[in-house]
């Protein structure tokens, strides 16, 4: 059966999660560690601290389209600072309007280190919340999703800081052209720690509105993705440029709330990043073999030569698995070495009683691992209302709301299969539909050997137009930002 246009709305929606993480809305404005300054951070210099107190408003643009705004506010208390941020975005996703609101509130010490924070994301009926307290080299994290709360303790090698703190410390250390800092960050949206490299590249005049301002230009590199930003001599953020053409520009409150809305054509987040191909394949779901040349990206950064994929130079061959010859097993799995693919995570709550109960109900008395995985796939495919969803995917949230796109389908499927003892891993890549490759997420299950499975498209195994780039959850999936907007694909053959 031909893949309907309705599927196109959900095939690529996982790009939104990557986009939110990388566009300075969830990563750049989270919690920084500062291990490489020449001296330990001192208590805040009151005069310099006053430079970043109060509100800062930024308009968020894609081309001529204004898609949102962000406001930060830092206030001084008794031996503490209170920091808050609100980001609102209105996005066009395959003709469907989507609004997302992100709120962050934090209590900071006199040295601007984070004592506690709360992070909230709401998109339609979908809600995600994380709260944390920092003490004794640990971050105690509570995550609320799907009406359930999970806890996690994250060890910290250094003290976490806010971006406002980072700007202040840069001022205290001296803004010097050529200076470079390697900064570990904690991102509450992915619950992960990674390094970001910040380099002060130069000083130049920058036009903001009708003003010409002196600014330091900084390059921030995160997992191979570059974000350029400009800050004033007082440490105020003036402009940020991110991949996929998103720009944040300093504005007044009135400008941020009222100026330039509806001026552009309404850039579609998904269509603008689709990867066109050179030939049309009438029915991609039937493709058993695909040969494609990939260009424009560093192929060596990805594990493309894995399982059903063979890479020779820049040519990739994908062969759909044959399930009839698999020597499967009876649950539970007795084979060792798959513990990593059975354990729960903060967003894949496979040990939750509600997930376990639902998984056992779906599987029933079936003990054949391959057949059990198929039952779960079919249940997820039939049960989840396929709508574009901008969220941080959580299995419990999806089980509760029964709404989502490929990320939601795959996250719930992974939790359910792990709950009954089937090792499962999340795969992110691209898939062919309507003469374009779109960004997509699916899974692989170990049922005697690893087999691809797509609960969004009800495919076991997945067709050969599924090209996997990254294995893992959202903390790993941000690697796809190296691909988005850069990859070129030329189909050389298929059958």
Please tell me the predicted confidence (pLDDT) of residue 126.
73
Contact (CB, 8 A) for 453 and 379: no
Please tell me the predicted confidence (pLDDT) of residue 435.
86
Does residue 341 sit in helix, strand or coil?
A: helix
Integer Cα distance of 165 and 40 in angstroms: 13
Please tell me the predicted confidence (pLDDT) of residue 170.
67
Please tell me the predicted confidence (pLDDT) of residue 114.
80
Q: What are phi and psi of 489, to 5 degrees?
A: -130, 130
Please tell me the predicted confidence (pLDDT) of residue 471.
95
| Tokens representing residue 306 in the block | 């894995």
User: HSE (CB half, 13 Å, CA atoms) of 295?
Assistant: 7
User: pLDDT below 70 — which residues of the chain?
Assistant: 1-52, 94, 125, 146, 160-173, 183-194, 223-224, 244, 263-265
Does residue 476 sit in helix, strand or coil?
A: helix
Residue 69: its H or E element: strand 65-76
Which of 337, 455, 473 minimizes the C-alpha distance to 393?
A: 473
Note the pLDDT tens digit of each residue in 110-167.
Answer: 777 788 888 888 877 677 888 889 888 888 888 887 677 878 787 777 776 665 566 6
In sequence order, the 6+-apart residues with CB closer than 8 A to the CB of 173 are 37, 38, 179
Q: How many residues does the chain have?
A: 495
Query: Any bridge partners for residue 65, and if so which?
Result: 62
Query: Any bridge partners for residue 432, and if so which?
Result: 437
Taking CA atoms, 361 is separated from 122, 365, 376, 412, in Å, by 30, 9, 10, 15
Give the residue ranges of DSSP H helices in 104-147: none
User: HSE (CB half, 13 Å, CA atoms) of 95?
Assistant: 4
Location of structure tokens 């350029």? 228
Integer Cα distance of 405 and 391 in angstroms: 10
Integer Cα distance of 86 and 88 in angstroms: 7
Through-space distance between the first and last CA atoms of the chain, rounded to whole angstroms: 16
Contact (CB, 8 A) for 423 and 446: yes
| β-strands 403-404, 385-386 pairing | parallel
Please tell me the predicted confidence (pLDDT) of residue 45.
53
Please tell me the predicted confidence (pLDDT) of residue 474.
74
Q: What are phi and psi of 175, to 5 degrees?
A: -80, 100
Question: What order do you get walking across the sheet with 289-295 strand by strand?
Answer: 309-312, 315-319, 289-295, 488-494
Please tell me the predicted confidence (pLDDT) of residue 214.
93
Does residue 485 sit in helix, strand or coil?
A: coil
| Tokens representing residue 143 in the block | 């995550």
Please tell me the predicted confidence (pLDDT) of residue 487.
93
Does residue 180 sit in helix, strand or coil?
A: strand
Integer Cα distance of 374 and 452 in angstroms: 11
Q: Strand locations in 243-384, DSSP E?
A: 246-251, 275-276, 289-295, 309-312, 315-319
Contact (CB, 8 A) for 275 and 436: yes
Please tell me the predicted confidence (pLDDT) of residue 413.
98
Tell me 2's DSSP state: P
């Amino acid at each position: 059966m031909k893949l309907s246009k309705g599927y196109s709305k959900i095939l690529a929606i996982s790009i939104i999660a990557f986009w939110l993480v990388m566009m300075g809305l969830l990563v750049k404005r989270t919690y920084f560690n500062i291990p490489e300054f020449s001296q330990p951070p001192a208590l805040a210099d009151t005069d310099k601290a006053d430079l970043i107190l109060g509100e800062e408003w930024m308009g968020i643009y894609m081309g001529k389209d204004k898609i949102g705004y962000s406001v930060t506010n830092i206030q001084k208390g008794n031996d503490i600072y209170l920091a808050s941020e609100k980001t609102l975005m209105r996005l066009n996703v395959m003709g469907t309007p989507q609004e997302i609101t992100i709120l962050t509130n934090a209590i900071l010490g006199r040295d601007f280190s984070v004592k506690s924070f709360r992070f909230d994301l709401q998109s339609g009926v979908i809600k995600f919340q994380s709260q944390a307290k920092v003490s004794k080299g640990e971050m105690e994290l509570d995550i609320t999703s799907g009406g359930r709360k999970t806890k996690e303790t994250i060890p910290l090698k250094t003290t976490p800081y806010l971006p406002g703190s980072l700007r202040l410390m840069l001022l205290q250390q001296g803004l010097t052209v050529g200076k470079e800092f390697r900064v570990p960050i904690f991102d509450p949206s992915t619950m992960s720690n990674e390094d970001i490299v910040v380099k002060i590249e130069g000083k130049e005049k920058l036009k903001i509105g009708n003003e010409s301002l002196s600014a330091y230009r900084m390059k921030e590199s995160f997992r191979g993705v570059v974000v350029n930003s400009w800050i004033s001599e007082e440490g105020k953020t003036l402009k940020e440029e991110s991949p996929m053409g998103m720009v944040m520009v300093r504005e007044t409150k009135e400008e941020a709330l009222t100026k330039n809305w509806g001026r552009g054509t309404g850039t579609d987040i998904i269509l603008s990043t689709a990867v066109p191909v050179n030939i049309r394949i009438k029915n991609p779901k039937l493709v058993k073999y695909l040969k494609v040349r990939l260009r424009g990206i560093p192929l060596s950064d990805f594990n493309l030569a894995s399982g059903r994929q063979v890479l020779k130079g820049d040519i990739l061959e994908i062969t759909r698995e044959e399930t009839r010859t698999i020597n499967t097993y009876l649950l539970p799995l007795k084979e060792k070495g798959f513990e990593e693919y059975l354990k729960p995570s903060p967003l894949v709550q496979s040990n939750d009683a509600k997930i376990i109960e639902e998984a056992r109900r779906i599987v029933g008395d079936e003990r054949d691992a391959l057949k059990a995985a198929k039952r779960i796939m079919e249940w997820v495919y039939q049960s989840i209302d396929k709508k574009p969803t901008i969220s941080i995917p959580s299995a419990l949230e999806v089980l509760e709301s029964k709404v989502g796109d490929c990320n939601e389908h795959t996250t719930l499927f992974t939790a359910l299969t792990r709950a009954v003892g089937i090792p499962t891993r999340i795969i992110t890549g691209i898939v062919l539909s309507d003469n374009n490759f779109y960004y997509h997420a699916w899974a692989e299950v170990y049922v005697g050997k690893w087999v691809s499975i797509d609960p969004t498209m009800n495919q076991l195994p997945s067709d050969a137009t599924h090209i996997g780039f990254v294995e893992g959850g959202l903390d790993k999936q941000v690697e796809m930002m190296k691909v988005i907007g850069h990859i070129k694909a030329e189909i050389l053959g298929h059958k």
